[in-house]
């Protein structure tokens, strides 16, 4: 066959680059030095691992429903949970929720400072206050600091672009990084005047670029632990991308001590995404990792369906595993060699790998059950019970 000339220029010669350093040296992340606060039994900041938070979507006054959702979040790996307190009925429910929750509970307070005191009295592990909308907040700081000190409860100064203090909006014109940071540090200074420094800070914005700039500035100007969040990030897909981009940039720079992925989706999904972000950066031990090909014209199996089936089958497996699901012979054997378990599928069958060695070939409809059987034989039950 005569080759077709496409008129494309010849590629340049490969540059003579130095050898790539070993992976551990490349991937080691240096955390920003921050003071540490205790949210219940979970340390935040200092040398503590980055923790994953979420927020319930139930009415807090519905104690049973709220505790049920907290249990689901706990099972998914949530470390700290926040509950909304918009009414007195919600405030009245805090004591029962805080007492029965498996993980520390943070009360989320807006508008009414009296709910801050109710949350502290109820035994909440921490309180989030929004300085932009709490009535006469500056006048209440001394009392809040005294109550929090007496109970050993940290305060999160939670600045949000959507509810910035009107004085700062007038000064800056919009919710700029400077405005967010100024709000946070001003409120911190009010607490510091009363000797209270058991503080963590968030400066959230819906735009990842603004959020990144604000946290970078904040990280240089204080040593308080930082709670990362992209507020109103959007539906599951969009919110996941925005949060992963923003958190990835900051965490890779060592900035961030606890995270909350905000999604218009069930809270458990926030926790799953949060863990995936941290695991991808080596900031949390990996749990389940599915290495699957994106599929192409070479694929001889429905890779999408097979990868989803394997993911569902191993959900909750207590031992961290890397499982390769490959649809052809080009990359399949190589990826399978790097995995604990793997399958290279095609022509209605699959080669099953264990630590790079082919142990058997099975019909396509037996691939998932065979992977499960091999995992059980080597690692135990795929449930945490």
Q: How much is the pLDDT for 25?
A: 42
Q: How much is the pLDDT for 11?
A: 37
For the cut 80, the answer to whether the pLDDT of residue 334 exceeds it is no
Q: Where in the chain is the domain with CATH 3.30.413.10?
A: 288-380
Q: How confident is the model at residue 70 (pLDDT cuts 50, 70, 90)?
A: very high
Q: In this predicted model, what pLDDT tens digit does every residue of 187-233 receive, in sequence order? A: 999 999 999 999 999 999 999 999 999 999 999 999 999 999 998 87
Q: How much is the pLDDT for 174?
A: 93
Mean pLDDT of the chain: 87
What is 288-380's CATH number, 1.10.600.10, 3.30.1370.60, 3.30.413.10, 3.40.50.2000?
Answer: 3.30.413.10
Q: Where in the chain is the domain with CATH 3.20.20.20?
A: 36-281
Q: Which of 95-109, 148-162, 337-351 is least confident?
A: 337-351
What is 36-281's CATH number, 3.20.20.20, 3.30.70.1520, 3.30.43.10, 3.20.20.70?
Answer: 3.20.20.20
For the cut 80, the answer to whether the pLDDT of residue 264 exceeds it is yes
Three state DSSP letters for the chain: CCCCCCCCCCCCCCCCCCCCCCHHHHHCCCCCCCCEEEECCEEEECCCCCEEEEECCCCCCCHHHHHHHHHHHHHHCCCEEEEECCCHHHHHHHHHHHHHCCCCEEEEECCCCHHHHHHHHHCCCEEEECCCCCCCHHHHHHHHHHHHHHHCCCEEEEEEHHHCCHHHHHHHCCCCHHHHHHHHHHHHHHHHCCCCCCEEEEEEECCHHHHHHHHHHHHHHCCCCEEECECCCCEHHHHHHHHHHHHHHHHHCCCCCEEECCCECCHHHHHHHHHHHHHHCCCCCCCEEEEECCCCCCCCCCHHHHHHHHHHHCCCCCCCEEEEEECCCCCHHHHHHCCCEEEEEECCEEEEEECCEEEEEEEHHHHHHHHHHHHHHHHCCCCCC
Higher-confidence residue of 287 and 136: namely 287
Higher-confidence residue of 154 and 1: namely 154
Q: How much is the pLDDT for 202?
A: 97
Q: In this predicted model, what pLDDT tens digit does every residue of 297-315 receive, in sequence order? A: 666 688 889 999 999 998 8
For the cut 90, the answer to whether the pLDDT of residue 23 exceeds it is no
In this prediction, residues 175-189 reach a mean pLDDT of: 94
For the cut 60, the answer to whether the pLDDT of residue 10 exceeds it is no
Q: How confident is the model at residue 327 (pLDDT cuts 50, 70, 90)?
A: confident
Percent of the chain surpassing pLDDT 90: 65
Q: How much is the pLDDT for 58?
A: 97
Q: Which of 46-50, 60-64, 230-234, 378-382 is least confident?
A: 378-382
For the cut 50, the answer to whether the pLDDT of residue 12 exceeds it is no
């Amino acid at each position: 066959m005569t080759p077709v000339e496409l008129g494309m220029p010849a590629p340049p010669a490969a540059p003579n680059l130095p050898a790539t350093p070993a992976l551990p040296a490349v991937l080691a992340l240096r955390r920003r030095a921050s003071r540490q606060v205790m949210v219940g039994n979970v340390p935040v900041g200092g040398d503590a691992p980055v923790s994953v938070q979420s927020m319930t979507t139930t009415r807090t006054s519905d104690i049973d429903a709220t505790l049920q959702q907290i249990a689901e979040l706990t099972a998914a790996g949530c470390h700290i949970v926040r509950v909304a307190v918009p009414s007195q009925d919600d405030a009245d429910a805090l004591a029962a929720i805080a007492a029965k929750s498996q993980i520390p509970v943070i009360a989320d307070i807006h508008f009414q400072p009296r709910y801050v005191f109710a949350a502290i009295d109820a035994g909440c592990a921490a309180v989030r206050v929004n300085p932009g909308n709490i009535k006469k907040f500056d006048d209440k700081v001394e009392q809040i600091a005294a109550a929090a000190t007496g109970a050993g409860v940290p305060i999160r100064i939670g600045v949000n672009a959507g509810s910035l203090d009107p004085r700062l909006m007038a000064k800056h014109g919009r919710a700029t990084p400077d405005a967010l940071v100024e709000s946070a540090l001003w409120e911190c200074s009010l607490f510091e005047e009363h000797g209270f420094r058991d503080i963590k800070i968030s400066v959230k914005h819906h735009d990842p670029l603004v959020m990144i700039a604000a946290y970078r500035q904040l990280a240089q100007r204080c040593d308080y632990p930082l709670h990362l969040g992209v507020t109103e990030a959007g539906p599951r897909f969009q919110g996941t991308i925005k949060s992963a981009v923003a958190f990835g940039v900051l965490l890779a720079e060592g900035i961030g001590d606890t995270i909350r992925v905000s999604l218009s989706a069930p809270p458990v999904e926030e926790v799953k995404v949060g863990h995936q972000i941290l695991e991808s950066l080596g900031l949390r031990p990996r749990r389940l990792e599915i290495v699957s090909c994106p599929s192409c014209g070479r694929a001889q199996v429905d890779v999408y369906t097979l990868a989803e089936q394997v993911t569902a089958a191993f959900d909750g497996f207590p031992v961290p595993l890397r499982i390769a699901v490959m649809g052809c012979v080009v990359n399949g054997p190589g990826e399978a060699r790097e995995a604990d378990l793997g399958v290279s599928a095609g022509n209605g069958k699959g080669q099953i790998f264990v630590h790079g060695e082919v142990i058997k070939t099975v019909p396509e409809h037996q691939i998932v059950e065979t992977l499960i059987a091999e995992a059980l034989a080597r690692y135990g039950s795929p449930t945490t019970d």
